[in-house]
Chain A
Amino acid sequence: MKTLLVVDDRSDVVEVVKSRLQANNYQVIVASDGREGIKKAQQYKPDLIVMDILMPNYSGGEAVKVLKSDAATKHIPVIFLTAAASSVADGEEPGRVCVDGQFYPALGKPFKPEKLLFEIKKLVGD
């Protein structure tokens, strides 16, 4: 069973994303800001991280920068899930968010669960 880390400062967002992922047979760990996200990622080495962008104590972008510069976590794929409208347009394809010249798939909130699951599956398998 794959393990996913969900990082979002809104506990109710974390809750709904978690229950959706669990229903699709993923094991889910959570964090409530960028700093905790980094810690949990280093501790548990999840197969993928679903990351919010606007958060206190390290934004999603800053957290990804840290994780990508750490040999132990730099291989972990990241999907951004954000309400910042300017970052993501709700097109057919996932949007992209650029951190340090590197592009990551990004979904806008409100997200379509089938899109989120599809993007996760693309990166980690079932």
Chain B
Amino acid sequence: MPKPTRPVSAATVPKPVVPRHRLEVGTISHDDLVQEVNMRKAVEDKLRRSNDGIKMLYKELVKTNAQLKEFDQRKDDFVNNVSHEIRTPLSIIRESISQVSDGLFGKVPAKQKRHLDKSLVNVDRLANIITDLLDVAKIENMKLQLYKAKVNMTSLVEDVVSNFESKVKAKGLELKCELPDTDVNASIDQEKVIQVFVNLMSNAIKFTQKGHIRISIEEKDDLVECHIADTGRGIAQEDLPKLFNKFEQIGRHHGSAEKGTGLGLTISKGIVELHGGKISVASEEGKGSTFTFTLPQNLLHEGVIQNLKSVLLSAIEKFNQFTVIKLNVDVPKDQLKAQSALVDKLIRACLYRKVDDVVQDGRKIYILLPGTKKADCTVVIERIKRELKQHDNAKVHLDVQVTSYPDDGLTEDELIWKLLSEEERA
């Protein structure tokens, strides 16, 4: 997270006031004192004015931002509509050709059928390109929404591999799968990660004529590392840097039977990076390639910060003033799940107004109180403390932190920075 800047930049802060006459100790004249006080007042005034100016500017920026968001939405709608409008006629073309080729309207000579079938293959290819282009557009606009859940990577890989078994066998290749005996959990979007495995597996099979494909995963610190290795033709050193670029079909001139869209690796890279992971390749021409990608095991915290950020941003847009209370709930780890649901319920019961909002992250709970000054939130805190004590005084220990807009920060980043502890900032 970027370190938030102070609302007043160095350029607008007047130089510290130095009295014109250096005063002897114990001999401050009345005039000098008055002068100094006046100057300080003037400085304070200036600061307040520039601060007000910045606040106004910020509101203006928020407004512009909302407008830009709307344009962005219209652009997304356009991309989706284009895809829809292309797919419908494609389906008519495909089905018409397919029916003629299938002899629905009379026997078709073999030579004509070959041409029709060639058309079919290319209609399908076009449809795949549209799907992939849409994915790339979403990734590049940071619009690809991840639906993360706790997923057992071991069984995910087993599933993917079993789908490829017949294809690998048909090509006379060996399929090696090295998985840990235990569950390896990660917080991922299952469908998207499957897409990455499928892309990399398809490539491995496509470019390997003999030998084996090896797929393995291992836990490393808080990462899951996935490898897809083949004994195929490999990639030339000079081609490696271009590999993840759009439409970069390395070795296309070798005349591969199955043509891809040239977007598979771009999409895979995008998906892995959206998860906060990295993808890389090691390869030697004639010996084979190994693609490696990592996925963080637990991104719960990051997801909550994102959520908190959007809650704060919309609060800044809507309210002139609000206070965020952060509660650190001390619960033994094994009771966290059961307790956090209860704590969440109790806290919500303490909030009487509809506008109040709660964001929970395991032991940390953020409460948003619109229109409330810092000094006025103690009532709510006391109420929550009382409520929790009544229900469960043994297990829950509270540690409270309070941050207010606009006093403590003017942007959502700044407010979050104030709310996070040292270790969380790291």
Residues of A bordering B, CB below 8 Å:
10, 12-13, 16-17, 19-20, 23, 54, 83-86, 89-90, 92, 108-111, 113
Contact = CB atoms under 8 A, between A and B. Distances in A.
Contacts of A23: 99, 102, 104
A17 B96 CA distance: 9
Interface of B: 80, 83-85, 87-88, 90-96, 98-99, 102, 104, 123-124, 127-128, 130-131, 134, 163, 191
Contacts of A84: 80, 84
Given A19-B99, A54-B84, A113-B98, A85 B91 contact: no
B87 A85 contact: yes
A109 to B, nearest CB: 4
Given A19-B104, A20-B104, A109-B90, A85 B99 contact: no
22 contacts: A13-B88, A13-B91, A16-B91, A16-B95, A16-B99, A17-B95, A20-B99, A23-B104, A83-B83, A84-B84, A90-B131, A109-B87, A109-B88, A109-B90, A110-B87, A110-B93, A110-B94, A110-B123, A110-B127, A111-B94, A113-B95, A113-B99
Contacts of A10: 88, 92
Closest 5 CB pairs between A and B? A109-B91, A83-B87, A110-B91, A16-B95, A110-B94
A86 B131 CA distance: 9
Contacts of B93: 110
A20 B98 CA distance: 9
A17 B88 CA distance: 12
Given A16-B91, A85-B131, 10 more contacts: A16-B92, A16-B99, A19-B99, A19-B104, A23-B99, A54-B84, A83-B85, A83-B91, A85-B87, A109-B91
Nearest to B127: A110
Nearest to B92: A12
B130 A85 contact: yes
B137 to A, nearest CB: 11
A107 to B, nearest CB: 10
B84 A110 contact: no
B128 A90 contact: yes
Nearest to B105: A19
Contacts of A111: 91, 94-95
Contacts of B87: 83, 85, 108-110
Nearest to B90: A110
A113 B124 CA distance: 12
